[in-house]
Amino acid sequence: MEAAGPPTQPPAPHPSVAPLSFLLGKWRGEGEGTFPTIAPFRYGEEILFSHHPSKPVISYTQRTWKAASGEPMHAESGYWRPRPDGSLEVVIAQSTGLAEVQKGSYDAEKKTVTLQSELVGNASKVKQIARAFQMVDGELSYIVQMATITNSLQPHLKALLKRI
């Protein structure tokens, strides 16, 4: 008969993913949206960053809802591929049909990630997307900026999420 051991620890992440392990898990919070061409709005959001220790990739899924009514808004999902040199590439499919390829870098000590779109596909108005993530006192904050056919790169979204 096997002796009962101590509770099993979650397996260590893949070495490529380890520097970004501060992101792993489920997050929930609130954000606000703005752009010169639209009325400002508030939203709720949940993000899940998950991975398997045998793969050098983080799976990303996000969904949002209207803060006032809970009605679903934008959703997106994709894959984050960090590299040991501190660079990172991300692909994201948005519920609006837009597809993004993002390239950028992370800083494991500052717990920051910055991304710039290399490719924005199947978009009627969007020309460019920039995403910046930062851990602030254990919470995950981000800013999304976009450039459109009518407006230069500027904030569209900002949010703050707690780990759940």
Using CB under 6 A as the criterion, which residues of the chain lie in contact with ligand HEM when the complex forms?
A: 33, 35, 37-38, 41, 43, 64, 73-74, 98, 125-126, 129, 144, 146, 148, 150, 156-157
Smallest distance, ligand HEM to C-beta of residue 20, A: 20
Between 79 and 108, whose beta carbon lies closer to ligand HEM?
79
Between 21 and 77, whose beta carbon lies closer to ligand HEM?
77
Q: Which two tokens stand for residue 119?
A: 């490719």
Smallest distance, ligand HEM to C-beta of residue 10, A: 30
Which residues are 132's β-sheet partners? 114, 143
**What's the rounded Cα separation, in Å, for the pair 89 and 78?**
11
Between 52 and 122, whose beta carbon lies closer to ligand HEM?
122
